[in-house]
Amino acid sequence: MDAIVLAGGSPEDPLAARYGVPSKTLAPVRGRPMVEFTLEALKATPEVDRIVYVGPVPAQGLVPAPDAVLPDQGSLLANLESGLAEARSARVIVASGDNPFITPEAVRDLLERAPEAALVYPIVPKAAVEARWPGMRRTYARLRDGVFTGGNLILLDKALFERALPMARKIVALRKKPLALAGIVGWGVLLKLLLGRLTIADVERRAEQLFGMPMRALVTNHAEVGVDADSEEDIRWFEGEDARANGS
């Protein structure tokens, strides 16, 4: 299976600007570009045959080196389309390049437990994140099934996902128009979310209706799937892992 690493971004992103890099995924963590930790985890996953990297590359290159490197196309969806066109396998893993926490064990858990669907999206219970990093700030959604944060890994069926691209482009185009976007998602769905009555099954059904393909959520207790580095504070959480592991 191929893996796609989405490492694009803007040099105006606060974290990128802070370190003078073209994308926050290249911000230094433990003296290395952040994205190298994602590449390392995927390289150590036996099921991953090739890694397709989409984004800028530092002058010194990347270690481990991706099998294919594509330039940043200017948006997350365009980068995903570019990566999918390069990928050779029927199903692919898509990983964000701003998650230095990810581990091979978390990737394998997704692959081993993924249900049959065109898109499988891991979600992490708040309790799992809090158990590992008490007080870490994340964005959570309260569902009737529990409180979850979204993951930074996705499992995709290439052929089926192509059918969803028109709707995906439409949603991306409306991302700064909340009323229009709410009209697409459905006011009933949003009301149930606000009232805490929305279930995972509700979300799956509405996603399937919108995108015309089976989409499933996968609850995982691998907390590292649900975190990324958007700020220097997040990087300090990651760099503190060594100290916590050594009991200091």
Residue 72 DSSP one-character state: -
Q: State the average pLDDT over residues 5-31.
A: 94
pLDDT of 242 higher than 80: no
Mean of per-residue pLDDT scores for the chain? 90
User: From CA 31, how far away is CA 27, in angstroms rounded?
Assistant: 9
Q: Pairing between strand 146-150 and 50-54? A: unpaired
pLDDT at 211: 87
User: Considering the chain, what percentage of its residues have pLDDT values greater than 90?
Assistant: 66
Strands (E), the chain: 2-6, 28-29, 32-33, 50-54, 68-70, 91-96, 119-125, 141-143, 146-150, 153-157, 215-219
pLDDT at 241: 65
- The per-residue pLDDT for range 85-95, each reduced to its tens digit, is 999 999 999 99
CB of 215 within 8 A of CB of 117? Answer: yes
pLDDT at 167: 85
pLDDT of 119 higher than 50: yes
pLDDT of 245 higher than 60: no
Comparing 31-40, 107-116, 134-143, 219-228, the range with the smallest average pLDDT is 134-143
User: From CA 22, how far away is CA 47, in angstroms rounded?
Assistant: 31
Residue 65 DSSP one-character state: P
pLDDT at 175: 65
pLDDT at 176: 67
pLDDT at 246: 46
